[in-house]
Amino acid sequence: MAFQKKHRLGYPSLWDPHGQLGRGLPKGLVNLQALPYTIVVDRQGRIAASRTGPVAEAEMADVLTPLLKAPRPQRTAKTHG
């Protein structure tokens, strides 16, 4: 939390000290023993990119720009019957 506050992160960052969240990731996606690792999720909740190690701002921009330009998924209206 201190890192998030210090660097004013504008995105969710999950701290997983016991590796519980990482165990649910697809096998081989990232090396859970190597920190940091970054996972980018698209608007549909699919893993769009992953990276082990530090990520430069330009690298993130290359990944995020097309995702942000992609149309938002259509939400279906819920009806009560």
Concatenating the DSSP letter of every residue in 11-67 gives S-----TTSTTGGGSPTTSS-TTSS-EEEEE-TTS-EEEEEES---HHHHHHHHHHH
Walk along the chain (81 residues) and give the pLDDT tens digit of each residue. Answer: 777 788 887 777 777 777 777 778 888 888 777 778 888 988 888 999 998 888 888 998 999 899 988 888 777 666 555
Each domain of the chain, given as residue ranges in start order, spans 2-69
The CA distance from 57 to 60, in Å, is 5
pTM of the predicted structure, to 2 decimals: 0.65
CB-CB neighbours of 64 under 10 Å: 14
Q: In this predicted structure, what is the pLDDT of residue 49?
A: 92
